[in-house]
Amino acid sequence: MRLVTFDDGKVGRVEDGVVARLDVGSMREYFEGGGTAEPTGDEYPLADVSLRAPIAPKKFFHTAGNFREHEDESKNVDWSHEIAPWIIFFQNVDSIVGPDEPVVYPEHLTEELDYELELAVVIGKAGKWFSSEEAADYIAGYVIFNDITARDIQRREMRSGVFSFCKAIDTFCPLGPWIVTPDEIPDPHDLAMELRVNGEPRQVSHSRNMSVTIPEILSHYSPLGYSAGDVVSTGTVSGVAGFSDDPASMYLKPGDVMEAEIERIGVLRNPVISWQEAHGEPPPERVRW
């Protein structure tokens, strides 16, 4: 089943190109209610609705360093800090945008805007202190996440050993296009992954390349406590602009279009636009954050 948030916040399920509205106020309420809701009887062609970010989680757990191929490529450019496994931090949930919504380039903050394709897990019920063997009971679905990152800010942040601001700027968290339930994804570690910029493949990998499994990730973070509807990312794959042989030519710029695709889930598409286009005025004075 594919679950969507659409138009002005309605919740629905997609079947055969039709969105059937569900009688629930939000996607979080849907999971808080046990993942069940009756259809209202209202149906809409999928092509006629505007998809939004499928969920606004209470907590968004970031995983970094899980795909060792990403750590390996960082060595090619002598990245300033080790990308150690089991890095965890939290996303600013107010930065979430949905399918086809623009990522706004904040020219006054960064000159090195990058993309990061990730598979993310939606938590279906509250829980704490559970084992990896129990983790499957907490998985409600899977969604595509594009972890937009300001690399120049990230390098400065990592001098302290942590980073957050570089990934939490407004619109830096595309999520979507929908949540796919586990019955449609029997093995989340058997999914092809690809991110394209203007149709050019940049990140091409596979979810089997994770160092640790999704159940292990969920169990590892469980002491922090989950709420129904929380989101957990699983790390990005190789191919980011910042670790390429020519980063300057590959960093995102206004006018670019990103397509993040994961097998069995779909495609999350987002354009990049300038601050001027987004706000109708030039960006603020340049800041070295």
Q: What is the residue range of 38's domain?
A: 1-52
Q: Is residue 135 part of a domain?
A: yes
Q: Is residue 67 part of a domain?
A: yes
Q: Are residues 33 and 176 in the same domain?
A: no
Q: Are residues 5 and 113 in the same domain?
A: no
Q: Is residue 120 part of a domain?
A: yes
Our count of domains for the chain comes to 2
Domain boundary among 31, 52, 73: 52
Mean pLDDT is highest, among 24-33, 86-95, 163-172, for 24-33
Domain boundary among 17, 36, 52: 52
User: CATH no. for residue 179?
Assistant: 3.90.850.10
Q: Are residues 118 and 66 in the same domain?
A: yes
Q: Are residues 109 and 45 in the same domain?
A: no
Dist CA 42 CA 22 (whole Å): 8
pLDDT above 70 (res 239): yes
Distance of CA 132 to the CA centre of its chain: 22
User: CATH no. for residue 46?
Assistant: 2.30.30.370
Q: What is the mean pLDDT of residues 127-138?
A: 97
Q: Is residue 284 part of a domain?
A: no
pLDDT bin (cut points 50, 70, 90) of residue 15 is: very high
Q: What is the mean pLDDT of residues 276-282?
A: 97
pLDDT bin (cut points 50, 70, 90) of residue 7 is: very high
Q: Are residues 239 and 114 in the same domain?
A: yes
Domain boundary among 15, 35, 52: 52
Q: Is residue 248 part of a domain?
A: yes
In degrees, rounded to 5, the angle at the alpha carbon of residue 74 between the alpha carbons of residues 263 and 202 is: 35
pTM score, whole prediction = 0.94
What local confidence, expressed as pLDDT, does residue 56 receive?
97
What local confidence, expressed as pLDDT, does residue 231 receive?
98
H helices present in the chain, as ranges:
27-32, 68-76, 151-157, 165-168, 214-221, 247-250, 275-279
Q: Are residues 48 and 119 in the same domain?
A: no
Mean pLDDT is highest, among 74-78, 83-87, 244-248, 251-255, for 251-255
Q: Are residues 178 and 219 in the same domain?
A: yes
Dist CA 260 CA 269 (whole Å): 6
The per-residue pLDDT for range 134-150, each reduced to its tens digit, is 999 999 999 999 999 99
Q: Are residues 120 and 161 in the same domain?
A: yes
Pick 258 or 159 by higher pLDDT: 258
The per-residue pLDDT for range 104-120, each reduced to its tens digit, is 999 999 999 999 999 99
In degrees, rounded to 5, the angle at the alpha carbon of residue 224 between the alpha carbons of residues 142 and 170 is: 60
The candidate with the shortest Cα–Cα distance to 66, out of 193, 226, 235, is 235
Distance of CA 216 to the CA centre of its chain: 19
The candidate with the shortest Cα–Cα distance to 142, out of 86, 187, 97, is 187
Q: Is residue 151 part of a domain?
A: yes
The per-residue pLDDT for range 42-89, each reduced to its tens digit, is 999 999 999 999 999 999 999 887 766 556 666 666 555 566 666 788
Q: Are residues 193 and 137 in the same domain?
A: yes
Q: 3-state DSSP call for residue 194?
A: strand
What local confidence, expressed as pLDDT, does residue 243 receive?
83
Q: Is residue 230 part of a domain?
A: yes
Which three-class secondary structure string do you get for 126-148?
A: CECCCCHHHHHHHEEEEEEEECC
Q: Are residues 219 and 81 in the same domain?
A: yes
pLDDT bin (cut points 50, 70, 90) of residue 287 is: confident
Q: Are residues 171 and 264 in the same domain?
A: yes
pLDDT bin (cut points 50, 70, 90) of residue 159 is: confident
Average pLDDT, the chain: 93
What local confidence, expressed as pLDDT, does residue 71 receive?
60
Q: Are residues 140 and 98 in the same domain?
A: yes
Distance of CA 178 to the CA centre of its chain: 11
Q: Is residue 245 part of a domain?
A: yes
